[in-house]
């Protein structure tokens, strides 16, 4: 593919750099290289990845995402013949110009007709005087003044004042060549011209024909190949999808506790990941570059973006605040990937595998209030999420309503007072186990948790006593286990099947030793 022209005022080097950025960032993977082979003529070569690349779609993508195609404003406001400002359409502007050319041509022909008629008037006087030239000269010679000579000529030859003045202004040298045949010929030519002009002025169609002929003549004389061509249509715009130029691949999204986000193709070990001093891993999920990654925050909001748009780097990544507009003290609580259909419309075959966390997940917060290390999930279409707040409120929401958002994100939970979002989990069980920091646990059916279609406050999942807080929650089944991790001493693993069912919104019952300080609720 070869580019041989660029828009006026566009810098070629900047244009090539922009196309190269698209290639390097893998947004235009159909092209593997770009070369500038320009000399006096522009020649920019795009090297396709293979012979099967559709050139029309590639160029359509480049037109849209670079300055190879630009729009510019044109001020179409002009005064009408009535001296009123009017914003013209292109058709109105062209019509106004043609009307102006019509009026100008009409005035020019009218002026030429007047000059011809004045000349014919003089020629008729010369024809009269030529027959008695000697008598005319005698009248002039015997006159004492110019007025006497003028009046004498008027009375003798039946002339008007204009004709008499023309004869008086005639130089003697002109009499040498003055012949009646030349006068008659000149008169006949002028009369023919007069008839032609009168015919054009008397016919609107002939006058428009003359305007067109003159415009074509101007084009032929002054037009050149550098002038911009205005054509009726460029045909239907080539349709394409951004997915046509992306070779999607599996990747990992890494989020730190301080909100630094990056993407890595391979993660050999969690311990090998690099973070800034004092920072650590918050979330690690395996996704495909076509998937949507959603960040759920303590402010009860969700922010969504394509995994492809997350910077792939071996460094620390980018702060989440550079991608979205976070409020003060707003922090990421959970990260979930939503599998998107491939180019055939089918969900990726690996979606079910990616839907499972790669390692054991911690679904709560540490006792010191800092977020624990979690490995979040990637899910496909359908299903529900459980939204839980620190004050023990919660509700279910359908995952199909979530996706990409703008920088302001989307509100999913209405929080009251100092309450904050505690966690977001994919529902893969029928029971909900909640644990407060004072060692009370509550097991309820998930069906008792309301399902909302949009943002809401939800219902109380567990009543939290004064001075305590919600330490964590787990979505479980009867066969599962949960572990109470204490700050000091031996952990306590409980079988869900051994726990009694409770009612949603109650305080639950004490589990384990009351005096031991709980740190976290972990997977059994």
Structure confidence at residue 211 (pLDDT): 95
Per the CB < 8 A criterion, the answer to whether 111 and 213 are in contact is: no
- Mark whether 215 and 299 lie in a shared domain: no
Residue 349, CA atoms < 13 Å, CB-side half-sphere: 0
What separation, in Å, do the N-terminal and C-terminal C-alpha atoms of the chain show? Answer: 59
Residue 337, CA atoms < 13 Å, CB-side half-sphere: 34
Structure confidence at residue 245 (pLDDT): 63
Distance, C-alpha 48 to centroid of its chain: 26
- Mark whether 274 and 131 lie in a shared domain: no
Structure confidence at residue 360 (pLDDT): 28
Three-class DSSP category at 293: strand
Structure confidence at residue 235 (pLDDT): 56
Residue 309: phi and psi, rounded to 5, are: -80, -5
- Mark whether 57 and 179 lie in a shared domain: no
Task: Tell me 190's DSSP state.
Answer: H
Tell me which residue has tokens 């130029």. 245
- Mark whether 342 and 298 lie in a shared domain: yes
Structure confidence at residue 52 (pLDDT): 81
The vertex-224 CA angle with 218 and 229, nearest 5°, equals: 95
- Mark whether 205 and 311 lie in a shared domain: no
Is residue 135 in some structural domain? yes
Is residue 433 in some structural domain? yes
Q: Can you give the pTM of this predicted structure? A: 0.57
Q: How many Å apart are CA 92 and CA 162, to the nearest integer?
A: 46
- Mark whether 358 and 282 lie in a shared domain: yes
- Mark whether 343 and 377 lie in a shared domain: yes
- Mark whether 469 and 504 lie in a shared domain: yes
Name the stretches of the chain with pLDDT < 70. Answer: 172-179, 226-247, 342-382, 513-524
Range of the domain at 431: 248-523
Q: How many Å apart are CA 409 and CA 398, to the nearest integer?
A: 17
- Mark whether 33 and 169 lie in a shared domain: no
Q: How many Å apart are CA 360 and CA 246, to the nearest integer?
A: 33
Structure confidence at residue 349 (pLDDT): 42
Structure confidence at residue 357 (pLDDT): 33
DSSP codes joined into one string, 390-436? TTSEEEEEEGGG-----TT-EE-B---TT--EEEEEE--SSEEEEEE
* CATH value at residue 14: 3.30.1360.40
CA-nearest of 131, 168, 520, 136 to 361 is 520
> How many domains are contained in the chain?
3
- Mark whether 277 and 411 lie in a shared domain: yes
- Mark whether 23 and 162 lie in a shared domain: no
What confidence tens digit (pLDDT) does each residue in 152-178 have?
A: 989 998 999 999 998 888 876 666 655
Structure confidence at residue 276 (pLDDT): 93
Structure confidence at residue 230 (pLDDT): 63
Structure confidence at residue 358 (pLDDT): 28
Q: What is the pairing mode between strands 260-264 and 250-256?
A: antiparallel
Structure confidence at residue 492 (pLDDT): 86
- Mark whether 255 and 339 lie in a shared domain: yes
């Amino acid at each position: 593919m070869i580019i041989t022209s660029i828009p006026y005022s566009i810098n070629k080097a900047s244009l090539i750099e922009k196309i190269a950025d698209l290639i390097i960032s893998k947004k235009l993977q159909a092209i593997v290289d770009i070369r500038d082979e320009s000399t006096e003529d522009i020649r920019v070569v795009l090297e396709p990845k293979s012979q099967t690349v559709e050139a029309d779609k590639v160029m359509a993508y480049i037109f849209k995402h670079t300055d190879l195609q630009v729009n510019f404003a044109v001020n179409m406001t002009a005064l009408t013949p009535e001296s009123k400002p009017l914003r013209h359409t292109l058709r109105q502007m062209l019509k106004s110009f043609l009307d102006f050319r019509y009026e100008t041509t009409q005035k020019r022909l009218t002026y030429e007709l007047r000059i011809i008629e004045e000349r014919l008037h003089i020629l008729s006087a010369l024809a009269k005087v030529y027959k008695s030239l000697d008598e005319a000269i005698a009248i002039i010679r015997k006159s004492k003044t110019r007025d006497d000579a003028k009046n004498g000529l008027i009375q003798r030859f039946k002339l008007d004042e204009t004709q008499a003045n023309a004869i008086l202004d005639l130089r003697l040298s002109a009499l040498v060549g003055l012949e009646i045949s030349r006068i008659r010929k000149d008169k006949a030519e002028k009369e023919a011209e007069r008839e032609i002009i009168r015919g054009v002025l008397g016919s609107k169609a002939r006058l428009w024909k003359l305007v067109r002929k003159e415009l074509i003549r101007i084009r032929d004389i002054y037009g050149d190949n550098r002038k911009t061509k205005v054509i009726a249509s460029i045909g239907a715009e080539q349709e394409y999808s951004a997915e046509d130029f992306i070779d999607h691949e599996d990747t990992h999204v890494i989020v730190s506790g301080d909100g630094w986000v990056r993407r890595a193709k391979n993660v050999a070990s969690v311990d090998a990941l690099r973070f800034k001093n004092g920072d650590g891993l918050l979330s690690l999920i395996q996704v495909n570059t076509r998937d949507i990654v959603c960040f759920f925050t303590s402010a009860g909001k969700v922010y969504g973006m394509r995994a492809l748009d997350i910077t792939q780097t071996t460094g620390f990544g980018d702060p989440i605040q550079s991608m979205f507009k976070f409020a003060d003290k707003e922090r990421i609580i959970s990260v979930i990937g939503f599998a998107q259909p491939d180019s055939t419309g089918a969900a990726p075959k690996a979606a079910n595998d990616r839907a499972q966390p790669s390692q054991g997940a911690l679904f709560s917060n540490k006792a010191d209030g800092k977020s624990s290390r979690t490995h979040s999930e990637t899910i496909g279409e359908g299903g529900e999420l459980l939204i839980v707040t620190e004050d023990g409120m919660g509700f279910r929401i359908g995952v199909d309503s979530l996706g990409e958002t703008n920088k302001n994100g989307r509100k999913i939970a209405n929080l009251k007072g100092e309450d904050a979002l505690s966690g977001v989990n994919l529902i893969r069980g029928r029971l909900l186990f909640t644990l407060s920091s004072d060692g009370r646990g509550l097991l309820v059916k998930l069906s008792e948790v309301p399902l909302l279609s949009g943002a809401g406050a939800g219902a109380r999942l567990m009543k939290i006593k004064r001075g305590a807080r919600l330490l964590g929650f787990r979505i479980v089944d009867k066969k599962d286990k949960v572990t109470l991790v204490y700050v000091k001493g031996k952990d306590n693993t409980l079988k869900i099947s051994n726990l009694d069912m409770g009612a949603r919104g109650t305080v639950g019952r004490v589990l384990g030793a009351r005096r031991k300080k709980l740190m976290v609720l972990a997977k059994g």
